[in-house]
Amino acid sequence: MPTLNGSRYFLLEPPHHVVPPNFVAFVERLIEADYIPVVTHPERLTWVTKNYDLIESVGRLGALMQITAGSLTGQFGTQAKALSDRMLEEGRIDLVASDAHNVSGRSPVLSTAYALVEEKAGAETARNLFVETPARILRNAQIRAVGMDAARGAKREAVSKSRAGKFWRMFQGR
């Protein structure tokens, strides 16, 4: 399998307009075989809006999410920007790529997106998404997909809200 710099990481580009059948099971088999898929530009896949749970699921399994810098800056339209903003807010992005195809149409400029991430999520997050995680991939170092932690955080928050609601109802005598 062609991997990134001979590592266990590889780019997985799902179809743009069709939900891949058995996508979660496929990713699970890849991870069990000790490959780590880097799902490319999930924010630009037209089916993700209605099937966001699939992205959450493969992230929980350990697949990395790589969004395109141009999506963060609005270059790929409002839907891609909205999804990339959502993923950034939820902490579901592992790395940001240029998706450069050439030096004119899709140039490899990341600075605008870096500044945007730094402003919205902090300097440490920006450095991780643009520098540290890509470097770790090239070194074949272990990376824990942020989706694994984001899922736990969302679950903890839901449990916390549920407990707070129960406490409030008890306090009010309900």
Instruction: Tell me the pLDDT tens digit for each residue of 131-144.
Output: 999 999 999 999 99
Q: Are 97 and 68 in contact (CB under 8 A)?
A: yes
In this predicted model, which residue has the larger pLDDT, 101 or 38? 38
pLDDT reading at 57 higher than 80: yes
Predicted local confidence at residue 38, as pLDDT: 98
Instruction: Tell me the pLDDT tens digit for each residue of 68-127.
Output: 999 999 999 999 999 999 999 999 999 999 887 767 766 667 999 999 999 999 999 999
CATH class of 4-147: alpha beta
Predicted local confidence at residue 150, as pLDDT: 65
As a whole number of angstroms, the distance between CA 133 and CA 111 comes to 17
For tokens 């406490």, the residue is 167
pTM for the whole structure: 0.83
